[in-house]
Structure 1
Amino acid sequence: MSITISNISKSYKKVNALTDISFEVKEGELFGLIGPDGAGKTTLFRILTTLLFADQGDATVAGYDVVKDYKQIRNSVGYMPGKFSLYQDMTVKENLNFFATIFGTTIEENYELIRDIYVQIEPFKKRRAGKLSGGMKQKLALCCALIHKPKVLFLDEPTTGVDPVSRKEFWEMLKRLQQKGITILVSTPYMDEAALCDRIAFIQEGKILEIDTPQAIVKHYPKPLYNVKANNMYALIQGLKAYEHHYSVYPFGEFVHYTDKRTDFDSSDLNAFLESQGLKDITIEPTAPTIEDTFMELAK
């Protein structure tokens, strides 16, 4: 295993950031840690990258213990924190050269690994890092994390605040890096990105809810799910919540995702109830659950 985590817990005064966390990441795997802000993702990343001590539990990264072998881990991993942390008054080229020098290497020595990413930022190599767009900052930070050819790559919410096109490009780059044998542990609050991982772990309030492949997790959704639509979204949500047989009601794009307590759900009865609430143009149709639906169900 490339990463092993066994019964890790961490508290900040009265706040339990992590509670008895255990899972493994296989060598060469693209593993996603999925959860909202404050779920404990960053705390776990800091423990695994030797920046923070756990209160209890053990962990290894690339075969090294996170406490005893911290020097070896720091030479074996790449870490891209959620906040852009490069030197903003230095140019793109200067940042890359600086991090390469720290690890005793050069841009040229590991150019093959970063080439696909570097060619996109090379036209801006004389620009100060602080003047780059969000997408370009992200690519520069990834290049700096890869410059020493790490065995394991930690990416803490790398696409937060980045435009959709750059997000898509970033995940395509991760897939190519995975093909080169790098183990990747990435955290994200975006449920659509979870589907791009080999396996995912849902984390909420410092606890792991479930670990499996995205496809298997979606299959665990326990009830038939329906798309419901009407002429007034707010009134529709309130109406569905007032319906005595409702189990869950969540807005989902232009629809509301609805599940019913009954096993013999009849849409005509619900339709009549919503009409009695003054709603019009009502549609109720079955739909397939998504990873987001499954997370909301587990988080309940």
Structure 2
Amino acid sequence: MTAPAHQLDTDLVIDVEGLTKSFAGKKVVDNVDMQVARGEIYGFLGPNGSGKTTTIRLLCGLLTPDSGHGTCLGYNILTESPRIKREVGYMTQRFSLYEDLSIRENLDFIARIYQLDHRGEAVEGAIEKLKLTGRADQLAGTLSGGWKQRLALASCIMHKPKLLLLDEPTAGVDPKARREFWDEIHELADGGLTVLVSTHYMDEAERCHKICYLAYGRLLARGTAEEVIAQSGLKTYTVSASSQKLIHRLARDLAGRHGVDIVAPFGTILHVSGADREALVRAIAPYRNETDLVWREDEPTLEDVFILMMKHAPDNYQ
């Protein structure tokens, strides 16, 4: 017997080809292919306006592409988007719950919207799972950013979705709350939930199982963080100095030299990178023997790679 269309024959939760979307004559997403496996945390990186949010919405049937095709959760993204939506949880960047209701009241309201059976049990289960018990009766408007984030996540998973969309979920949240949030995300993924997350934070990207980098609607790289770094071919040297003044002087001297694609100061350390190793070596050679500078060939960081990609990405909005 042939399996129903909604049953997944593989571990691919998302499998799409050629997704393209334009607004006002501008291609916001340009011929994107993507596959995402069940239980995978897939990170979307790129500058503002790069098409991250639009791509995520297209992948999940929340927007209809101008061209392209594929499936999400076994459903056709062109013809079965209502079915996809019922199995997706979507957490927006801006807190969108009622600030004059308590945590418990907000979750009860969401449970009513989803028409959940055993509503009270579902609410209390979400409160316990996201460790909100001690604040369940606190008004949402009085919560810190980290606690609002937990509440928003709880509201997204109450209906037990198979796919979770997170649109820059940790913007404006302190480092401790960010780390705790990501611990929760990994726990959910370990339970089989697939997660698509857009972020600007490189440390968050490195916590994803796989990542992709979008610039002006085009997918420039994808894979694990290690694979993306290796595929870039980027070579990096780090140089330290006894004073900030020396680092500033060196940064000015190296910027624009042939073979130097990136010059990025980090305190009293400078990252100097280039895609052509021989040209980079020639560019820095005059400075290698300066006694006040300590040079070291180093591994490029994910941030180095993405700066390089952004530098060479054509801007189709100009």
Q: Please name the residue that 1:34 is paired with.
A: 45
The sequence identity of aligned pairs, in percent, is 36
8 Å contact from structure 1 (residues 80, 158) kept in 2: yes
2:208 equivalent to 1:209: no
What's the offset of the Cα at 1:165? 0.8
Q: Please name the residue that 2:315 is paired with.
A: none
Decide which moves more: 154-163 or 103-112. Answer: 103-112
Q: Please name the residue that 1:237 is paired with.
A: 251
Q: Please name the residue that 2:54 is paired with.
A: 43
Structure 1 residues 36 and 242, CA gap change in structure 2 (3 angstroms)? closer
The CA distance in 2 between the partners of 1:5 and 1:91, in whole Å, is 40
| Residue in structure 2 matching 1:153, options 144, 149, 164 | 164
2:266 equivalent to 1:249: no
What's the offset of the Cα at 1:49? 4.3
SS in 1 for 2:170: coil
RMSD: 2.3
Q: Please name the residue that 1:116 is paired with.
A: 129
What's the offset of the Cα at 1:248? 2.9
Q: Please name the residue that 1:141 is paired with.
A: 152
The CA distance in 2 between the partners of 1:35 and 1:222, in whole Å, is 19
Q: For each residue in 1:15-65, what CA deviation from the matched residue of structure 2 results, as whole angstroms up to 9, or x when unmatched?
A: 321111110101111111111211111112233444432222224221112
Amino acid at match of 1:115: E
Q: Please name the residue that 2:20 is paired with.
A: 9
Structure 1 residues 59 and 158, CA gap change in structure 2 (3 angstroms)? farther
What's the offset of the Cα at 1:243? 4.6
Structure 1 residues 52 and 223, CA gap change in structure 2 (3 angstroms)? closer
Segments of 5+ residues of structure 1 without an aligned counterpart are none
Q: Please name the residue that 2:278 is paired with.
A: 263
Structure 1 runs (4+) deviating above 4 angstroms are: 110-114, 242-245
What's the offset of the Cα at 1:194? 1.2
Calculate the TM-score normalised by the size of structure 2: 0.83
Structure 1 residues 123 and 102, CA gap change in structure 2 (3 angstroms)? same
Q: Please name the residue that 1:64 is paired with.
A: 75
What's the offset of the Cα at 1:109? 3.8
Calculate the TM-score normalised by the size of structure 1: 0.88
Structure 1 residues 268 and 204, CA gap change in structure 2 (3 angstroms)? closer
The CA distance in 2 between the partners of 1:65 and 1:296, in whole Å, is 35
Segments of 5+ residues of structure 2 without an aligned counterpart are 1-11, 313-318
Matched positions, count: 292
What's the offset of the Cα at 1:203? 0.9
8 Å contact from structure 2 (residues 90, 166) kept in 1: yes
| Residue in structure 2 matching 1:286, options 268, 290, 297 | 297
The CA distance in 1 between the partners of 2:193 and 2:149, in whole Å, is 18
Q: Please name the residue that 2:64 is paired with.
A: 53
